[in-house]
């Protein structure tokens, strides 16, 4: 037998060294919390919030000696997508139409109302609200209740 080294034995150590060398190199894609990278202060990519167009819906106000009636047109908006906030002198309506624009209305009321007395209904995209006048006085906006 001869003592000549086999070709396979000579290549294997070089191959093993190459693989071990690759394992000790930094990864091409950093994993979670790599020790050599500083902590991120923000998300790695820009965050964009896209909002659709905002539409101001048509509204009508009718007053009687005892009540204030407000009608707002919100075509295509389901009942459960309407949010109403009422104060004595103003009203805010927000609604999101599926696949369409968002509606936003801020409305100053001509007389003071009792917000807790509100009743409402919504049919075919028309929101009807009725408020009782405020017992604290029926002064118009800008006038005092002295």
Give tens-digit pLDDT for 117-127: 999 999 988 99
Domains (range + CATH), the chain: 54-133 (2.60.40.790)
**Separation of alpha carbons 127 and 86, rounded Å:** 14
Two structure tokens written together for 129: 């609200």
Record the pTM.
Answer: 0.58
Closest CA to 56 of 99, 90, 101, 111: 101
The sign of the dihedral angle between the CA atoms of 101, 104, 110, 115 is positive
pLDDT in tens, 7-39: 555 556 777 777 667 666 665 555 555 555 555
Question: 3-state DSSP call for residue 81?
Answer: helix
pLDDT > 50? residue 142: no
Structural contact between residues 102 and 49, judged by C-beta atoms closer than 8 angstroms = no
Give 143's pLDDT tier (boundaries 50, 70, 90). Answer: very low
- Averaged pLDDT score across all residues of the chain: 77
Higher pLDDT, 70 or 28: 70
Secondary structure of 6-39 as H, E, C letters: CHHHHHHHHHHHHHHHHHHCCCCCCCCCCCCCCC
Structure tokens at 49: 């919030």
Q: Which residues contact 61 (CB under 8 A, 6 or more apart)?
A: 68, 69, 70, 107, 109, 110
User: Percent of the chain beyond pLDDT 70?
Assistant: 62
Residue 98 confidence class, pLDDT cut points 50, 70, 90:
confident
pLDDT of residue 72: 94
């Amino acid at each position: 037998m001869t003592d000549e080294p086999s070709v396979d034995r000579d290549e294997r150590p070089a191959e093993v060294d190459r693989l071990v060398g690759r394992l000790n190199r930094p990864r091409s894609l950093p994993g979670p919390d790599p020790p050599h990278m500083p902590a991120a202060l923000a998300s790695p990519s820009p965050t964009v919030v896209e909002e659709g167009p905002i539409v101001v819906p048509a509204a009508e106000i009718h007053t009687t000696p005892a009540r204030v009636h407000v009608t707002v047109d919100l075509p295509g908006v389901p009942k459960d997508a309407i949010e109403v906030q009422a104060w004595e002198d103003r009203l805010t309506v927000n609604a999101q139409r599926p696949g369409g624009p968002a509606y936003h209305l801020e409305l100053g009321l001509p007389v003071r109302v009792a917000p807790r007395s509100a009743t409402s209904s919504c049919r075919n995209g028309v929101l009807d609200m009725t408020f009782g006048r405020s017992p604290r006085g029926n002064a118009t906006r800008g006038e005092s209740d002295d």
